[in-house]
Chains A and B, each alone.
Chain A
């Protein structure tokens, strides 16, 4: 369960490592291009997080290098550059996802889970949380082996919660994850409440306890507590 993180900003690196370790991943750090290139094929990493702007090189070359070495790890580019051309360039070089700084750690976790699912488990994995079972590939959800109908957004929200179980996720994080550029600039998160309310109701109707805790207006926590 190793993840390689190539990032020159040490405090950001610390945050990512702390959060991902809470999720149960083990992280290998590389603060620059050289270190990154040296450890690139040391392990068969589950996933690599690569910053593009490195002090001694371009992260994009690391992505290319990894693909030349026929690494099957999932690769997520993390970058402050947000132009479409750069995204396309990154994905063309062989990255599986592209995350723009500043991002939510919860979103990073969700993306890592999703990339790992796609690259390692070829999507065939079944996610389990207490009595809930989700098959992300078929986009189906079961409670006690009984299927429940969720809308697209509700299922995405559930997957997001399951990727960040026992963590506090902010409403901004949810909005950004579910709506991308459409989230947030409304100054209101009413639509998040609406979907959350519906998801909660459907789960509880199926007999689940209320897994979602409201944390002081800052966000929510999905847990058994």
Chain B
């Protein structure tokens, strides 16, 4: 969720909740105030009514100005002395609708007769007032909230602008490896962020550059003496004066130098992957990639009499990665499946949405399963093999967030590459 959305949502829920509670309290207070006002009015009216009743006949007292209605009843005995204020509903004769009234009930004694008197006052005008005030306040709240949201957007955009700029620059850092340098900040926290980012990315960029140069130099420095040994050996074997013993020595030198240069170039490759020097991305179709490598490897496959079984359930699966690394990953997985296979064994290839499965026959592992993807872990019975292939595959997978798993069932080995959606 975006920062703006999140903060807007928070403000909205909190302020709505607050305004709701405040609204209820406000409404209650207003209602109570108007009621007590009405009650005070009724109390004043009571004085008038009592005066009036003293002067006039009881039955003529039905219409006293200021009172909406009066009700007088003779009661035999003394029922109650306290004045009672109550709400009630009465039928309005004019439009035949029930309306709420407030009444005051009290006892009145005259000529030895005891009367119960109720004077009524309509609450409709005060209710109307409360209603109007409430409506106005609600409208103002809505206006206020809208204003706050719009303001929030503007304030947010201007306050956090530098922050978003920093994020954009950081995103680009992966590709450019340029230190992230932000403009001047007038917010203290962002100024600190700016400084921290600058120091950090400067160091990262520097480390990256140094590591790259180091790798470059090491490769170069190693490749040249290797090239010399290799070429001198090759010249030496052209000599006509060498016997079988000397040739055997030369063969050993030749083989070792060959291995050494392969080792060097593979280690360089791993370092380059670790340094994330492969940043180009292409869309590569997985099925096509597999087929191409099967074609390239068909001589090895035929030589060992290996049978290939395919189950491409997801023909359109596309990998977004560097072409060279994609080749490296698939080639090494397939080579592994060929090299460690049995004579006349089977390789089973399966693509499913989100995964690639390569299964091969082969003798059980000669080492611990956990060490399979570790550098230099290998079956020592095989010569000329460094145990770097699968660790290369692992590095490529890590580079792209793929997950690679291995499982085995006696003479069957299964590699599953889980591709992100």
| Chain A residues close to B by CB (< 8 Å) | 9, 11-12, 15-16, 18-19, 22, 53, 80-84, 100-106, 153, 167-168, 170, 172-173, 181-182, 184-188, 190-191, 194, 215-219
Contacts and interface: CB of A to CB of B under 8 A. Distances in A.
B296 interface: yes
30 contacts: A9-B227, A11-B228, A12-B231, A15-B234, A16-B231, A22-B238, A53-B220, A80-B220, A80-B223, A80-B224, A81-B216, A81-B219, A81-B220, A100-B223, A102-B223, A102-B257, A103-B227, A103-B230, A167-B238, A172-B254, A173-B234, A184-B262, A185-B385, A186-B300, A186-B339, A215-B247, A216-B248, A216-B251, A218-B247, A218-B254
A69 B316 CA distance: 49
A102 B230 contact: yes
B254 A15 contact: no
Nearest to B389: A185
A106 B235 CA distance: 10
B324 interface: yes
B272 interface: yes
For the complex of A and B, list the 5 residue pairs with the smallest distance between their C-beta atoms, beginning with the closest: A187-B384, A15-B231, A102-B227, A80-B223, A216-B247
Given A182-B331, A187-B382, A187-B385, 18 more contacts: A12-B227, A15-B228, A19-B234, A22-B238, A101-B227, A102-B231, A105-B231, A106-B234, A153-B299, A168-B237, A170-B234, A170-B237, A170-B258, A181-B331, A185-B384, A191-B299, A216-B247, A217-B248
Contact of A219 (B224, B237, B268): B237
A222 to B, nearest CB: 13
Given A53-B220, A102-B261, A172-B254, A188 B234 contact: no
B300 A102 contact: no
Interface in B336-367: 339
Nearest to A218: B251
Contact of A172 (B229, B250, B255): B255
B244 interface: yes
A203 B290 CA distance: 35
Main secondary structure of the interface of A (DSSP, over half): mixed
A81 B226 CA distance: 14
Interface of B: 216, 219-220, 223-224, 226-232, 234-235, 237-238, 244, 247-248, 250-251, 254-255, 257-258, 261-262, 265, 268, 272, 277, 296-297, 299-300, 303, 324, 331, 335, 339, 382-385, 389
Which one of B257, B272, B277, B299 has the greatest number of beta carbons of chain A within 10 Å?
B299
A179 B394 CA distance: 24
A3 to B, nearest CB: 15
A166 B248 CA distance: 20
Contacts of A218: 237, 247, 250-251, 254
Contacts, number: 116
A200 B84 CA distance: 127
Which one of A19, A83, A102, A167 has the greatest number of beta carbons of chain B within 10 Å?
A102
Contacts of B226: 101-102
Contacts of A101: 223-224, 226-227
A189 to B, nearest CB: 9
A99 to B, nearest CB: 10
A185 B227 contact: no
Nearest to A193: B303
A185 B228 contact: no
A82 B231 contact: no
Contact of B224 (A12, A172, A194): A12
Contacts of B219: 80-82
Contacts of A181: 331
A83 B234 CA distance: 26
A194 B303 CA distance: 9
A216 B339 CA distance: 26
B303 A191 contact: yes
A83 B224 CA distance: 16
A25 to B, nearest CB: 15
B224 A9 contact: yes
A15 B236 CA distance: 10
Given A81-B220, A218-B237, A185 B251 contact: no
Contact of B228 (A9, A53, A104, A153): A9
